[in-house]
Amino acid sequence: MKSDSIKLGAQNAPHRALYHALGFTDEEISRPMVGIVSSYNEIVPGHMNIDKIVDAVKIGVAMAGGTPVVFPAIAVCDGIAMGHTGMKYSLVTRDLIADSTEAMALAHGFDALVMVPNCDKNVPGLLMAAARLNLPTVFVSGGPMLAGHVDGHKTSFSSISEAVGEFNAGSITLEKLAEYERKTCPTCGSCSGMYTANSMNCLTEALGMGLRGNGTIPAVYSARIELAKRAGMAVMELVRKNIRPRDIMTEKAFMNALTVDMALGCSTNSMLHLPAIAHECGIEINLDIANSISEKTPNLCHLAPAGRTYVEELDEAGGVWAIMNELSKKDLINLDCLTVTGQTVGENIKDAKNLDHNVIRPVEDPFSETGGIAVLRGNLAPDGCVVKRSAVSPKMLRHEGPARVFECEEDAQAAINAGLINPGDVVVIRYEGPKGGPGMREMLNPTSAIMGMGLGESVALITDGRFSGATRGACVGHISPEAASGGPIGIIREGDTVLIDIPANKIELKISEEEFSARMAAFKPKQKELSGYLRRYAELVSSGARGAVLN
């Protein structure tokens, strides 16, 4: 065991003295030390129940012969951070989480880890740490929130975001907005649609790093406590078999995750996180791989915000394993990949059934023959950009219109709220990329305002920032290179024509080549005065096309 080097022999008596100071018995000291990385806090709804999950994991570890030891990881609530300076600190925490977990695990010589994350950057940050540390590791999330209910319809976080736009447009009253506010998020857990948190927790299953139900069993169900106990027991089996994350997170496993991503219609943020996790495994994923997988992968689910079903219904329908079983019927899943169950993907999913064809379409009758995410390229985004195709109205799959240019999210939001955006416009928000923001803020408020004000089928939005998983509509993010790095999004002028052609995977600024070259030659990106962590982050972060990993 790794921890033996700090526990055994006379020379390690000082270490054992400190274990005794913690109240450990000799028996506990002699067993494998299992670090339980707890993301519990009292500010993130997806994390307020994690103390219960952690307690259950501890029981499972102890039952299986290990010594559980809890240490923390931070987490930002993207919803609370949305629309202000706080959102600059969301993506950047992914690397803080990975770095701090690495420091704690190696400083204390843990033999194995159980990661207990839930929300947006916290899941990929801990997956990055797991790959980097390569200790036997199992993931068990805090679980999704139940959907809310307003006027007999289920609701999720995107419902309240769009309700603000409806109120500003005069479509609903202040009283109705207050009802949405009270009823949209009725329980703890990660917000109930296929947003980034639930996307990443489902993709953790697809990667093989989480047990069945990790991404879908609701936070408030007792079954999640049982899952946590099984995760604690499972990690001890991985210790005995010496199965490690890089044995599981192979290139084939990432292809499985990308395939499930396309079938599920996950958040576009997965196109930042999967490449970053793969990078820690020594595997490079570029955006072109996503399009090649999307071309052959049917989209089987339309969960909120793309449709009217929610993660609780996905769980009832059979969950991630049922989706993988459907996909395997077309030989789209690598069945020989190892997983944290100690068995292969094929062994895991062979009996998984699709119990509701309204939630998970059969592979022979998909929502579409191509996947839920598309990568676009063109003179405006030579390194690529990303759109959640499954959440775009058919009317907006191809759109050409005049650019309305804004240098930050706040300016765009003010213009939308003031009714200055017209049908047909293409809203451009720049200097919000990984370096330019810095931190690549999510643009949920402007996209929700556009939808809420009834412009969702006539207005597009493009940005070098990114979008919440709650965003829907013709919203194109991660435009790379970003403006702050000299990208062409920085040369767009008010009134220029922008073409977005999602079926053709194309995005273009419709000016002559001569004019384009002249503008690029004269372009000098704006610089922001930065300090503290954001300054260091801006200096080190790479393009969104590379997953915004730190150089």
Q: What is the CA radius of gyration of the chain?
A: 23
278 conformational bin, left if phi > 0, alpha if psi -120 to 50, beta if neither: alpha
CA distance 422 to 414: 14
Give the relative orientation of helices 444-452 and 409-417 as an angle to the nearest 10 degrees. 20
CA distance 210 to 245: 11
CA distance 474 to 193: 18
| Residues designated as active site | 468
Strands 497-501 and 398-406: antiparallel
Please list, in sequence order, all residues whose beta carbon lies within 8 angstroms of the beta carbon of residue 4, skipping any fewer than 6 positions away. Answer: none
| Alpha carbon 544 to its chain's center | 14
Cα separations in angstroms, 371 against 197, 262, 400, 414: 19, 4, 23, 34
Give the relative orientation of helices 196-207 and 122-133 as an angle to the nearest 10 degrees. 30
CB 484 within 8 A of CB 448: no
**Phi/psi of residue 424, each to 5°?**
95, -15
Query: Between the CA atoms of 272, 277, 279 and 280, what dihedral angle is there, to the nearest 10 degrees?
Result: 150
CB 440 within 8 A of CB 432: yes
Query: Which residue shows structure tokens 């954001």?
Result: 534
Q: Residue 441 carries which side chain, given as an amino acid letter?
A: R
CA distance 241 to 248: 13
CA distance 144 to 378: 37
Q: Which two tokens stand for residue 191?
A: 């917000």
Q: What is the DSSP string of 268-292?
A: TTHHHHHHHHHHHTT----HHHHHH
Cα separations in angstroms, 169 against 177, 184, 324, 463, 502: 12, 20, 42, 24, 29
